[in-house]
Amino acid sequence: MASKGSSMSFSRKSYRLTSDAEKSRVTGIVQEKLLNDYLHRIFSSPEHAPTAATSRKPLNFQNLPEHLDQLLHVDNEDEESQGQVEGRLGPSTVVLDHTGGFEGLLLVDDDLLGVIGHSNFGTIRSTTCVYKGKWVYEVLISSQGLMQIGWCTINCRFNQEEGVGDTHNSYAYDGNRVRKWNVTTTNYGKEGRLVEKDSSEWQLQGQPTVLLTLAHIFHRFAPLLRKVYLVEAVLMSFLRGVVEAGTPAQAQSMVRQILDLLWLFMEDYEVQDCLKQLMMSLLRLYRFSPIVPDLSLQIHYLRLTIAILRHEKSRKFLLSNVLFDVLRSVVFFYIKSPLRVEEAGLQELIPTTWWPHRSSREGKDSKDVKDETAEEHRRRRAYERGCQRLKKRIEVVEELQVQILKLLLNNKDDNGGEASRYIFLTKFRKFLQENASGRGNMPMLCPPEYMVCFLHRLISALRYYWDEYKASNPRASFSEEAYIPPQVFYNGKVDYFDLQRLGGLLSHLRKTLKDDLASKANILIDPLELQAATMDDLDEDEEPAPAAAQRPMQALAMGGVLPLPRPSWLSSPTLGRANRFLSTAAVSLMTPRRPLTTSEKVKVRTLSAEQRTREDIEGSHWNEGLLLGRPPEEPEQPLTENSLLEVLDGAVMMYNLSVHQQLGKMVGVSDDVNEYAVALRDTEDKLRRCPKRRKDILAELTKSQKVFSEKLDHLSRRLAWVHATVYSQEKMLDIYWLLRVCLRTVEHGDRTGSLFAFMPEFYLSVAINSYSALKNYFGPVHSMEELPGYEETLTRLAAILAKHFADTRIVGTDIRDSLMQALASYVCYPHSLRAVERIPEEQRIAMVRSLLAPYEQRPWAQTNWILVRLWRGCGFGYRYTRLPHLLKTKPEDANLPSLQKPCPSTLLQQHMADLLREGPDVAPSFLNSVLNQLNWAFSEFIGMIQEIQQAAERLERNFVDSRQLKVCATCFDLSVSLLRVLEMTITLVPEIFLDWARPTSEMLLRRLAQLLNQVLNRVTAERNLFDRVVTLRLPGLESVDHYPILVAVTGILVRLLVHGPASGTERATSVLLADPCFQLRSICYLLGQPEPPAPGTVLPAPDRKRFSLQSYTDYISVEELAQVEQMLAHLTSASAQAAAASLVSGSHCTHVHTTQTHVSTNVHTTHVWHVSLSGYLTPAHPALCSLQPTSEEDLCPICYAHPISAVFQPCGHKSCKACINQHLMNNKDCFFCKATIVSVEDWEKAASTSTTSSAA
């Protein structure tokens, strides 16, 4: 008779048939002969049996059951002669067991046939056991009252509250109440009728005789089951046979019975060692078994693993001690790739091969399906059918792996211990911690390819339990609406180890945001959390009163309030020192809970995974558990079980640790296919063009074609495996679901205000990276556009990027850079840019305002790149996807964001224009910072190319550092992008430079003209430094060329001199010509002319050896070329007029030059023109002849170019207006004394003739 409860077990010592229990046990390597002799000795034949009964056939574990049947067989005649009947054990006369089978105060008759009870619910057994057939016994009831008569197992234990029928392993009938009992009760039979019970219905784990024999067997045999070689060679083979022979249900039932026997007859430590060795063997066999076409080996091993894990006691032991502690159990969730195509039978599954064309970033094929030939279409369809066959076989394995995780996440098996899910959570969190803290330490890390498969299986099991909970709790949410509530990040119930938070370190956040935690979440941080308290800090016998008064409050990490004093029994010395550090749950359970009022605060501290209990996670009646500290913005109804929220949090962390990186690596197979496909097409093209008379070349090309074709066949089949296991539609939906989870989590966290800083950084990282993976890694087979809610998801991600790339609550440099780079990449593609335009208007304006913040003291390069992408396609000659000079030198890679087709946003450009017009300080501060950075970037570039040129001219062999070349190219690219931003600004809001009613317009225009002239002079000089470096074509400097920087400068000049209003054009022309660095020859260089043409003449054709915008007709339109010619004619005419005016003014003031003979006439005339444009003198002014030249002490001591025209208050120092206006944009301190400048006033020499030079 056996128990229905699998957790009950018999002690092996109770079944020993001999007292010789401590004999030495056999160890060593088991050979066939040794095993035969050993088994014959243990299971020897009885003395009266004939010799033939012991066959000389070798005895092993396979035929051991047959041998035992022979030994246990007894003839019917012998049974009858001995008074035994099949199905019954015990004496022929049934009597009461007065030696040990009773409970309570009982009076038993001398003949052991009658009994009188003198206590409440006394119980007594008989001396006979039945195990087969139907049996009846008669009882004469001699008194009134409640009596239960029935059957029980040998393992049944009674007390004065529970008798027969009140336990799981007993069954009874109560004739008084006419009911049957087996823990619960139901109506049964008629009054006074005796009960017949078929003992076979008990489903015993074995018959009594066999149980006694097995006890003897396991006494000798148990030590062998601890040996790894016996477990792998014998037990594993036997269990595999069980799994392979029957259906999955039959195999699971058989394995469960075997495990019940192991736990029944073996000591716990022996069973545990056996299970440990068994799982290690399973893991090795699953990991290293070959990939056969039907994956049968992997399927059998997984089914056996499932059968073992379905046994509750075995599952909990393995979870607690083996799966994560000893084994790398994630191997069970991995489907390894075949080393050879032939190994997995892929040639038979996929007889026809095909390979996709290179895809664009939007997930579409560069070659449309409708352009396929009939042969290509047939091959593609046959290839897809083969991929579907392969996918169906792999899905069988994946479903078994999901079943394993469903068993590990079971939370209904908490009978007699902790449920499997909470054991799994503890181990899973530790697993994540090891991988998070051991990044870079390869032995500690779980391989990324294992992580990918583990993540997908975990998501499937998680969503199964999530939706199952929703089915039974209508107020809960579906898994499609899943997210992590923000309170999980700050209430201390989930340990995030040393992972960075958005707002910085956790300890810093708890100090700075403790008031917000108290006001918004009713949470107080435990003061002990900020102190390093150890056990040695506490005295065992004496404890200070303040500490004793504080300890009850430490329990409030569970969300409860403990107004009562600490129970006295907790202070008992018998509990030892460790009990002073009982978990908060243990202390809380000793005190009745009550709901929190709004004024009460909950004190929290961080709990490690090992310290938590089920109540810490799921909570109780008045304790929200994992959701403690709910902010007012969060809904009250639960999303799902709290434990599932932690599993989801771990899945997001897994993706961040290594899954995204591995998804990017697996794309290498697709890249290899593309490379070989290009090589094959080139080879076939060469074959078509090769003359037939060149047999040698034809032979080599044919050989190359064969090699490429064979390689592509192999790679296309391998690519099918990768797509089925990593990039299938189901895997894409998993990553997409994870992306949406992160988006909802960030949105809910953002609503909490300052508490958003507690969120770990990896939630934003996963949102960015998962979108990148969906867009770049899963095409061209699966397109992101086909996903449900694609447009909405793009818009939500755009809103998050637009809001948080400049969020002051985010302090981490890395995550801020990631957000900025993600937004920069986001605006490169039409679909995602349209998503940015769909976000609410106030968010768009806030984003553009952040982009227009001054560039100082922040990483400005990425924000400048974003502005450039918004303008690309609208600028002068700015419609290219790849620089013209690079088209033939490097193959085009359409996957780079910088090489996407232009997609400007007129909507965001309009927001930018409105903001620049909005206030008096926005445009000046922004443009001043842009001009400062342009000055720095171009100066750095010129300095670096000087060093590169000097190194190249040395006679000795030398190498230029590649990093230096990269920095040099970056400075050049930055200069070009800054010029494009200036072009966009002038186009959108020209009045910022040309409306001199604004106080800073003239100064900004002068600075712009100065920088433009410097760039033109450096780039256009004949045989200059820039020309020589470009001619070298050094690796790393491929982007350095005349075209990108000259068209950017040309675009600015055209906007100023051609498109502007007449008054603005006149001002821009005068400022440009007044700059000392202006050279008309630089403008002529743009059209390939060495000298300015004569007025009225036609421009000659450009020299092919010289740079000319006319050579780039594919990139510059006819209208744009006409505008350049118009600009050149205008500047030529204005320059001639300026020169003529200078000569006239020079003839009237020749006495000015007699005292300065060392200054050339050309420089002098330019200087006089420059001064006149500042508003101080005009060349044709009548009073010019009477004015004396400006003395050195009257010149600005900063620039020595303009007269002093401004005085600073309160210090009284002086300079020209241009210098002080530019200085005040960046600094409010005086040039000379560093005093704070309060105001600037006009200054004229005539008004203060006695004033000395401000420099003095």
What 8-state DSSP symbol labels residue 604?
A: E
Give the whole-angstrom CA distance, residue 1215 versus residue 1235.
Answer: 15
Question: Per-residue pLDDT for 20 more than 80?
Answer: no
SS (H, E, C) 448-506: HHHHHHHHHHHHHHHHHHHHHHHHHCCCCCCHHHCCCCHHHHCCCCCCCCCCCECCECH
Question: Per-residue pLDDT for 623 more than 50?
Answer: yes
Contact 909, 984 (CB under 8 A): yes
Structure tokens given for 1027: 């020309």
Give the whole-angstrom CA distance, residue 1051 versus residue 1058.
Answer: 10
363: left (phi over 0), alpha (psi -120 to 50) or beta: left
Q: What confidence tens digit (pLDDT) does each residue in 97-118 have?
A: 877 666 667 788 877 888 887 7
Structure tokens given for 241: 């046979």
Question: Per-residue pLDDT for 13 more than 60?
Answer: no
Predicted local distance difference test score (pLDDT) of residue 1086: 87
* Between 345 and 466, the higher pLDDT residue: 466
Predicted local distance difference test score (pLDDT) of residue 1188: 41
Using pLDDT thresholds of 50, 70 and 90, give the confidence band for residue 606.
low
Q: What confidence tens digit (pLDDT) does each residue in 1080-1106 have?
A: 888 888 888 766 655 555 555 555 567
Neighbours of 695 (CB within 10 A): 10
Question: Per-residue pLDDT for 626 more than 60?
Answer: yes
Q: What confidence tens digit (pLDDT) does each residue in 363-396 have?
A: 443 444 446 788 888 888 888 888 889 889 999 9
Question: Per-residue pLDDT for 891 more than 70?
Answer: no
Predicted local distance difference test score (pLDDT) of residue 1172: 31
Using pLDDT thresholds of 50, 70 and 90, give the confidence band for residue 1150.
very low
Q: Quick check: helix, strand or coil at residue 173? A: strand
Neighbours of 838 (CB within 10 A): 16
Half-sphere exposure of 998 (CA within 13 A, CB side): 23
Mean pLDDT of all residues in 60-76: 64
Q: What confidence tens digit (pLDDT) does each residue in 271-323 have?
A: 999 999 999 889 888 888 888 878 888 899 999 999 999 999 999 999 988 88
Predicted local distance difference test score (pLDDT) of residue 365: 39
Question: Per-residue pLDDT for 1069 more than 50?
Answer: yes
Predicted local distance difference test score (pLDDT) of residue 730: 92
Average pLDDT score, the chain: 76
Question: Per-residue pLDDT for 121 more than 80?
Answer: no
With 0-12 CB in 10 A as exposed, 13-18 as middle and 19+ as buried, what is 134?
exposed
Query: Which percentage of the chain shows pLDDT scores above 70?
Result: 74
Using pLDDT thresholds of 50, 70 and 90, give the confidence band for residue 888.
low
Query: Which percentage of the chain shows pLDDT scores above 90?
Result: 20
Name the pairing type of β-strands 102-103 and 602-604.
Answer: unpaired
Mean pLDDT of all residues in 249-269: 88
Where would I find the H helices in 311-447? 312-321, 346-349, 374-408, 420-437
Predicted local distance difference test score (pLDDT) of residue 1199: 73
Predicted local distance difference test score (pLDDT) of residue 975: 94
* Between 461 and 3, the higher pLDDT residue: 461
Structure tokens given for 769: 């990276």
Name the pairing type of β-strands 1239-1242 and 1214-1215.
Answer: unpaired
| Predicted model pTM | 0.72
Predicted local distance difference test score (pLDDT) of residue 40: 67
Residue appearing with tokens 């052991």:
112
DSSP assignments along 149-180, one per residue: EEEE-TT----SS--TTSSTTEEEEETTTTEE
* Between 273 and 159, the higher pLDDT residue: 273
Structure tokens given for 111: 């003949």
Q: What confidence tens digit (pLDDT) does each residue in 459-508 have?
A: 999 999 999 999 998 889 999 999 999 999 988 888 888 889 999 988 88
Using pLDDT thresholds of 50, 70 and 90, give the confidence band for residue 85.
confident
Question: Per-residue pLDDT for 555 more than 80?
Answer: no
Burial of 1068-1102, coded b for 16+ CB within 10 Å and e otherwise, reads bbbbbbbbebbebbbbbbbbbbeebbeeeeeeeee
Question: Per-residue pLDDT for 28 more than 50?
Answer: no
Most confident of 158-162, 667-671, 769-773: 769-773
Using pLDDT thresholds of 50, 70 and 90, give the confidence band for residue 339.
confident
In this structure, which amino acid lies at residue 119? S
Contact 973, 1039 (CB under 8 A): yes
- DSSP element (H, E) containing 115: strand 115-117
What 8-state DSSP symbol labels residue 231?
A: I
Any idea how long the chain is?
Answer: 1256
Residue appearing with tokens 């960046």:
1226
Predicted local distance difference test score (pLDDT) of residue 39: 66
Q: What confidence tens digit (pLDDT) does each residue in 577-587 have?
A: 333 222 333 32
Nearest alpha-carbon partner for 622 in 596, 584, 585: 596
